[in-house]
Amino acid sequence: MQLPIFNRLTIKSKLIIVVLFASISSILIIAYLGLQMGKRSLTESVSNQLISVRAAKSDEIKTYFQTLRNHVKTLCEDRMVVAAMVDLHQGFQELNEKSIPPESEQSLQNYYENKFFPNISDKVSGELRFNNYRPVSLAAKYLQHYYIAANSYPANQKAQLLDPGDGSAYSRFHAQYQPLFQNLVQSMGYDNLLLIDPNTGHIIYSVRKEPDYGTNLTTGPYRTSNLAKLVATVGQTFDPGAIQITDFEAYQPAYGSQMAFIAGPIYDGSKLVGILAVRLSVAEINRIMTNNQSWVSHGLGKSGEAYLVGSDYRMRSPSRFILQDNSPAEKKLNKIQIETEGVRKALTGETGTGIFKDSRGISALTAYAPLKIGDLNWAILAQMDTDEVFAPVNNLQLLLLSASTILIVIFTFLSIIVSHFVNRPIAAIKEGIQQLQAGNYDITVDINANDEFGEIGRAFNAMVINLGEKLGEIDQKNRENEALMLNIVPFTIAQRLKEGELLIADHVKHVTILYARIVGIAELSQRLPPTEIIQLLTRLFHEFDQAAERFGLERKSTIDTDYMVICGLTIPRLDHVKRTVDFGLEMLNILHRMELAQNLALGLRIGIHTGSVTAGVIGTEKFGYNVWGESVYLVMRLYTQAELNSIVMTRAAYEWVADSYTLIQYRPMHIDIIGEVDTWILVTATRVSMSKVDLVQSSFAKVQLIADQAAELFYQRLFELSPSLRPLFKGSMEEQQRKFMSTLAIAVEGLRKPAAVIKAVQELGTF
């Protein structure tokens, strides 16, 4: 679209308008984007911080409960706990036959009505009656009388009573175990520890002497409590190591406080003798979640916090805003329900972040996630008020508005100055560009200025010169790339790639593959520094590569300290199997020479197989010449069957070289997908001739004529060289000498069947 007024303006005026428009637009766009990106970055930063807090708190809670589970499991298996359960159970049974003082009924009623009921009246609906809470069994009355009602210690210190002096076997056992369990509860931070009869449901022992002591969890006043449900679950589980946990609920014997329980079965051998239950308060969870209310030092600012919510939408740890008043956290947790969107998402299994209204109705950035602990389904949330989160962005917005106004004024002035200097060199630069587009690489522009346009003119001239030099460098790089390609792929494949063949895939029917692993590098790494290990492997692989080139084999990439070469892949060879076997022997010689020179403890396991493979170029920008197929799969597993410093080969390879080397049939190996594969092991680098066998056997026949003297001379020389061996030979040496000569005779006679001899010798070597 043409603008007549704009067309009549001078270039200077146009430049001023364009620069001003671009400057103002840029300032506004950058300011807007800066605010949005700042808000997004700040949101992400605070979200990540809240996620970190949430994850850290989640891990701490999980670790805390896992530690509890492990400790309870250990206690259930502890012999002292098993003995305590058996002894206290026996004493509890005997109490059912004991008589108690006549005044015990009245003392119990006074305790319940004057001390217990007043503490739970605000937590229980309906009228509290002693008949609904009174212990039923004689043993329960006995224990509650002596250990609670008649106990002179205050309510929170009744555990200090070890023996009420009633002379019962139960009290004797109680005095024995109470200090141990009391110390255990205090050291682990438990609220209480109870032992329960799994058959009757009676609580036969409690560290803290409270109204549930001695009662029956099946028929008693606390039969609907979370402890009773947990005990029923544990009693139905026949796994000795099964530890169960129940969620926090108001527990009347603990004066209505929120309590959770962890319980496990106690087995004496294979017999279930009891249930151990540990009572937990919210104190330790509160400590983990609030860090003693040091929110600011943990990066949560003035409004950030982390808290837990149960599946009933009641808080399992207090909010920092709830803790600002003076009432105990446990009482607040009984009353507060949190049904925010973040809590609902977390309790349905979702994990994420978002901006939601919290329980105060205030918008907050919230990181939420489910928290699974056994059968517990909790939600864990970390949040911070959005006003605090976006406070830096609001301040930035005011700063950007002020800065934008100043910049617009400055750019107006600068645009006038810039337009004056821009107009003159434009034509010269335009002409130079047109000449360059026409292919004139000798063109230069003459701008006599020391400003940016002068630099542009000089840069333009330098660019033209460099362009000619780069064209020459490109030609040089092309030649270097051709040389590099020959290091990646064979020459014949490189030629095919150069000719434009895009898809190279060949099936080669007859190749021989050698796959070897260097053994001992891991052990050597423990006493040599990495630099020496690298130097050693570099030298070893260099010698292997040189030998492979001499024998006409091509190396393929492997992992770790494995080494794989192929003969007959790109250059067909009739003797590809023999070349490969000779190369394997040369690898052993190279390793042996290096061991002798450097006192190393290394070895080789070598496998050889002959078969067909598929080969081709894989990749485009980064490519390589790879081989694959059943033969490669087989040989990469064959070496694992080889003895140290030996060569194992399949039947396909053996049949090609059976007449050139001495080989014996080795054990078959099972390879997945392929099945059983027969193998042979190379014994000597040459075939054992019958003339050599005849020479050995004829020579030994002469020794047999003086067998006793030869054996005696052998052992005399042996003990002269190694006197420490003499004590190993017990009994008559004459018998030992006869056995020695007899074994030699069998070995010499078996030379005509080396496979049998070698197998026998190998079996002897295993003893």
Alpha carbons 268 and 114: distance in angstroms, whole number: 41
Judged by average pLDDT, the poorest of 196-200, 349-353, 501-505, 603-607 is: 501-505
With bands split at pLDDT 50, 70 and 90, how would you rate the model's confidence at 209? very high
Segment 357-384 mean pLDDT: 87
Give helix then strand counts, H and E, for the chain. Answer: 25, 19
Tell me the C-alpha distance between 736 and 744, whole Å.
13
What's the pLDDT band for 764 if we cut at 50, 70, 90?
Answer: very low
- How would residue 691 be classed by pLDDT, with cut points 50, 70 and 90? low
Which pLDDT score, from 0 to 100, does residue 274 have? Answer: 94
- The pLDDT score that the predictor gives to residue 1 is 52
Q: What pLDDT was estimated at residue 4?
A: 66
- Phi and psi dihedrals of 270, rounded to 5? -100, 5
Q: Could you please report the per-residue DSSP string of 678-740?
A: -EEEEEESSPPPHHHHHHHHHHHHHHHTTHHHHHHHHHHHHHHH-GGGGGG--S-HHHHHHHH
Tell me what pLDDT residue 765 has.
41
Is the model's pLDDT at 602 over the cut of 70? Answer: yes
Query: Which range among 28-37, 278-287, 422-431, 649-658 shows the weakest confidence by mean pLDDT?
Result: 422-431
Q: Give the pLDDT score at 327.
A: 47
For the ranges 69-73, 333-337, 702-706, 715-719, the lowest mean pLDDT is seen at 333-337
Q: Is the pLDDT of residue 372 over 70?
A: yes
Average pLDDT over residues 228-252: 88
Over residues 520-558, the pLDDT tens digits come to 888 888 888 889 889 888 999 999 999 999 999 999 877
Residue 10, Ramachandran bin (φ over 0: left; ψ between -120 and 50: alpha; else beta) = beta
Mean pLDDT is lowest, of 477-491, 625-639, 714-728, for 477-491
Share of the chain above pLDDT 90, in %: 28
Q: Is residue 263 over pLDDT 70?
A: yes
Provide the token pair at 672: 């997945």
pLDDT of 156 reads: 84
The model's confidence at residue 746, banded by pLDDT at 50, 70 and 90, is confident
Helices 452-488, 391-437: inter-axial angle, 10-degree rounding? 80
pLDDT at 277 over 50: yes
Is the Cα torsion angle 359, 360, 362, 366 positive or negative in sign?
A: negative
Q: Could you give the C-alpha distances from 457 to 12, 424, 430, 447, in angstroms and in order? A: 21, 12, 11, 6
The CA distance from 210 to 193, in Å, is 11
Please tell me the number of Cα atoms within 13 Å of 148 on its side-chain side. Answer: 31
Per-residue pLDDT at 39: 74
**Does 448 score more than 60 pLDDT?**
yes
SS3 state at 504: coil
Residue, of 542 and 487, whose pLDDT is higher: 542
Contact 108, 150 (CB under 8 A): no
How many residues does the structure list for the chain? 767
Q: What backbone torsions phi and psi does residue 387 show, to the nearest 5 degrees?
A: -60, -40
Strand ordering across the sheet containing 376-385: 305-309, 376-385, 363-373, 352-357
CB 606 within 8 A of CB 618: no
Cβ contact 616:628 at 8 Å: no
Comparing 463 with 568, the larger pLDDT belongs to 568
Please tell me whether residue 182 adopts helix, strand or coil conformation. helix
In the structure, what pLDDT confidence band is assigned to residue 335 with cuts at 50, 70 and 90? low
Residue 588 has pLDDT above 60, yes or no: yes
Q: What is the pLDDT at residue 690?
A: 54
pLDDT of residue 612: 92
The pLDDT confidence band at residue 670, using thresholds 50, 70 and 90, is confident
The per-residue pLDDT for range 90-122, each reduced to its tens digit, is 999 999 888 888 888 888 989 998 899 888 888
For residue 625, list its beta bridge partners.
617
Determine the residue type at 322. I
- The mean pLDDT of 440-456, rounded to a whole number, is 71
Per the model's pLDDT, the better-predicted residue between 673 and 276 turns out to be 276
Top pLDDT among 760 and 10 is at 10
Q: Mean pLDDT across the stretch 569-582?
A: 91
The token pair that represents 719 in the structure block: 């003990």
Burial of residue 724 (CB within 10 Å: 0-12, 13-18, 19+) is exposed
The string of pLDDT tens digits covering residues 294-306 is 666 666 777 788 8
pLDDT at position 766 is 40
The model's confidence at residue 693, banded by pLDDT at 50, 70 and 90, is low
With cut-offs at 50, 70 and 90, classify the pLDDT of residue 477: low
The answer to whether 23 touches 418, Cβ cutoff 8 Å, is no
Closest residue by Cα to residue 388 from 468, 494, 305, 472: 305
Q: Whole-angstrom Cα distance, residue 614 to residue 424?
A: 68
Q: What is the pLDDT of residues 195-207, one digit of tens each?
A: 999 999 999 999 9
Confidence class for position 750, pLDDT limits 50, 70, 90: low
Task: Report DSSP state, residue 526.
Answer: T
> What pLDDT band is residue 767 in, cutting at 50, 70 and 90?
very low
Q: Which residue has the tokens 């070995």?
A: 747
Angle at CA of residue 43, ends 41 and 48, nearest 5°: 95
User: Average pLDDT, stretch 119-134?
Assistant: 85
Region 477-483: mean pLDDT is 58
- Mean pLDDT value of segment 372-386: 87
Measure Cα distances from 539 to 17, 419, 596 in Å.
71, 68, 15
Residue 395, judged by CB atoms within 10 A of its CB (0-12, 13-18, 19+), counts as exposed
Decide: helix, strand or coil at residue 266: strand
Query: How do residues 416-425 score in pLDDT, each as one tens digit?
Result: 776 666 666 7
Radius of gyration of the chain from its Cα atoms, rounded to whole angstroms: 45
User: What value does the mean pLDDT of the chain take?
Assistant: 81
CB contact set of 702 (below 8 Å; sequence gap of 6+): none
Region 218-223: what's the mean pLDDT?
92
Mean pLDDT lowest for which of 321-330, 426-435, 724-733?
A: 321-330
